[in-house]
Amino acid sequence: MNGKGFTSTELRSGHRAQGQGLRLKGDEGQVLMQVALLLPLLLLMIGLVFDGGMMYVQYRRAEIAALTAAQAASHAVDVEYFHQTNQIRLDADQAAAIAADYAYRNSGGHVAAVGISVRPNQVLVEVRGQVPTLFMRAFGIGSVPIRARGVAYPAYGIEQEGQ
């Protein structure tokens, strides 16, 4: 036994015979301190992952809305011009109306078509929206803007069998 009432075996093993752990002075509350320091960082990481995931989901939704709107509008061929010249050209008014309709229907109300450009052989649709945040509000960021573009070209038809 040493002067504190422990045997040398108890000091080496770190346990007392009664099953109580051997504590050194000043160790009380160390785990609490570590949890207090790491918990906010852990919550911040969870928040960033959650908000980042929601932003990605909404961006993909916006991108799909823009791409489908452009693709659908690219089928609005000016039929009279095609019959006269045998060349494909888009009907600008009809393509713009179709693009706006498809962008609205496929956005789920989260984005709006802010730019529809119809050229004779190209449709460009740009959509924008706001993604509300959950955890980033604690840092003053209530929403994050997103935007996406979709471009499509009219097809010239079947050129070979099996197309």
Give the tens place of pLDDT for each residue, 110-132.
788 889 999 989 999 999 999 99
DSSP 54-66: HHHHHHHHHHHHH
Structure tokens at 84: 């006269």
- pTM for the whole structure: 0.69
Give the tens place of pLDDT for each residue, 82-114.
888 888 889 999 999 999 998 888 877 778 888
Residue 34 is predicted with a pLDDT of: 83
| Residue 92 φ then ψ, to 5° | -60, -45
